[in-house]
Amino acid sequence: MSPAESRTMNAIRFDFRSDTVTQPSPGMRKAMGEAEVGDDVFGDDPTVKRLEQRMATMLGKDAALFVPSGTQSNLLALMSHCGRGDEYIAGQQAHLYHHEAGGAAVLGSIQPQPIAHQPDGTLALADIEAAIKPDDSHYARTRVIALENTFGGRALPMAYMTSVAEIARRHGLGLHLDGARAFNACTALGVGIAEFTAAFDTVSICLSKGLGAPVGSVLVGRQDLIDAARRTRKMLGGGMRQSGILAAAGLYALDHNIARLGDDHRRAKRLAEGLSAHPAIRLAMPDTNIIFVDMDPEVGQRFMAFLKARGVGITGTYGQQRWVTHLDVDDATVEGALEQVAAFFAA
């Protein structure tokens, strides 16, 4: 079934719900079909090893670990940095704190110290400093600061990450990056992935978002932390066998789908321009491939129902909706969706 046929089956013709909805392309499926595989828990899968080495080299880190999801990758990182009763600092809206079902607390006995975001998505440096606990038996031990970039589709500046890294170093803390969409951030900022991730001890990158692979994330970082993560991955049930079939999709994605991320960003800008032509719609121009739209909730409710009935897939609540461009959104998809939006406001 082609991607178009599959979307027709789901009655979504214009699918902006997420960059996770992409269908593996024929070329990617061919690479998966031809992958050389072995039992990766025995360390025998050459394709998984190639993916892990490739990612470690790209980021200029010691080692990497192929894992089933970004959620598991972040959890493994926190469990490598922290022991039972230790603490991590993260944003109040950070995916690993807010959207991962409290896994670090449930499975790692790790306490979160969330911090409110500034309007630009960053954490205030003074707030981070103030949240670091002194070495005193009253307090949990602060072990790691976790940043996220892109955050809500925004590419946060390099200077911000460098300043947080300086705080982490000064306090002897680890530094983790949830870089689910790190390549989108690099594309928007015009920096290389090694420079972008240089300050971090661990970095989690999703292959299954804008890069278009069906499954998988990679945790990259310092040897001792990745070794610990490999043990924990097995404990959590994330040890996979002939997973080279999946890693082959990841390698294909690295070869073919990084350079084209700028197309997703360009289409998101075009979509944002088209949407913002309607006075009821409020939005900030996107840095990358994600647009957040604010509107009156009553209008939003009718708007979302109208779009759904006409095959335009978006997510969100009535007052705020999210539109995401990706590999399977072309110029015609953007224009087609904008026609439906125009039809709503003309009615």
> Is residue 19 close enough to count as binding ligand PLP by CB under 6 A?
no
> Is residue 87 close enough to count as binding ligand PLP by CB under 6 A?
no
- Is the Cβ of residue 132 or residue 250 nearer to ligand PLP in the bound state? 250
User: Whole-number minimum distance, CB 185 to ligand PLP, in Å?
Assistant: 11
Query: Which of residues 23, 71, 187, 243 is near ligand PLP by CB under 6 A?
Result: 71
Query: Which of residues 25, 122, 217, 333 is near ligand PLP by CB under 6 A?
Result: 217
> Is residue 264 close enough to count as binding ligand PLP by CB under 6 A?
no
Among 68-76, 123-131, 186-194, 249-257, the segment contacting ligand PLP (CB under 6 A) = 68-76
| Residue ranges in 187-216 that form contacts with ligand PLP under rule CB under 6 A | 206, 208
Residue type, 242: Q
Report the alpha-carbon angle 285-150-230, nearest 5: 160
> Is residue 242 close enough to count as binding ligand PLP by CB under 6 A?
no
Is the distance from CB of 71 to CB of 236 less than 8 angstroms? no
- For ligand PLP, what does the binding mask look like between residues 139 and 158, x meaning CB under 6 A? ---------x----------
Give the H or E element holding residue 90.
strand 86-91
User: Whole-number minimum distance, CB 190 to ligand PLP, in Å?
Assistant: 21
From CA 89, how far away is CA 302, in angstroms rounded?
A: 39
Among 40-48, 66-74, 110-118, 130-138, the segment contacting ligand PLP (CB under 6 A) = 66-74
User: Whole-number minimum distance, CB 70 to ligand PLP, in Å?
Assistant: 2
Ranges assigned E (strand) in 104-179: 111-115, 141-148, 174-178
User: Whole-number minimum distance, CB 260 to ligand PLP, in Å?
Assistant: 19
**What 3-state DSSP class applies to 138?**
coil
Number of residues forming the site for ligand PLP (CB under 6 A): 11
Is the distance from CB of 79 to CB of 108 less than 8 angstroms? yes
User: Whole-number minimum distance, CB 148 to ligand PLP, in Å?
Assistant: 5
> Is residue 338 close enough to count as binding ligand PLP by CB under 6 A?
no
- Is the Cβ of residue 281 or residue 324 nearer to ligand PLP in the bound state? 324
User: Whole-number minimum distance, CB 40 to ligand PLP, in Å?
Assistant: 18
> Is residue 178 close enough to count as binding ligand PLP by CB under 6 A?
yes
**What 3-state DSSP class applies to 321?**
strand
**What 3-state DSSP class applies to 330?**
coil
Output the residue with the shortest Cβ distance to ligand PLP.
Answer: 70
- The pair of structure tokens assigned to 93 is 């809206």
Is the distance from CB of 77 to CB of 102 less than 8 angstroms? no
Query: Which of residues 6, 69, 93, 163 is near ligand PLP by CB under 6 A?
Result: 69
User: Whole-number minimum distance, CB 14 to ligand PLP, in Å?
Assistant: 21
From CA 278, how far away is CA 281, in angstroms rounded?
A: 6
Q: What is the 3-state secondary structure (H, E, C) of 7-62?
A: HHHCCCCEECCCCCCCCCCHHHHHHHHCCCCCCHHHCCCHHHHHHHHHHHHHHCCC
From CA 7, how far away is CA 16, in angstroms rounded?
A: 12
Question: Nearest Cα to 208, choosing from 180, 237, 242, 236?
Answer: 180
Peptide bond into 202 cis (omega under 30): no
Among 63-71, 253-261, 303-311, 328-336, the segment contacting ligand PLP (CB under 6 A) = 63-71
- Is the Cβ of residue 59 or residue 281 nearer to ligand PLP in the bound state? 59
Question: Nearest Cα to 56, choosing from 223, 234, 253?
Answer: 223
> Is residue 180 close enough to count as binding ligand PLP by CB under 6 A?
yes
> Is residue 35 close enough to count as binding ligand PLP by CB under 6 A?
no
> Site residues (CB under 6 A) for ligand PLP?
69-71, 74, 95, 148, 178, 180, 206, 208, 217
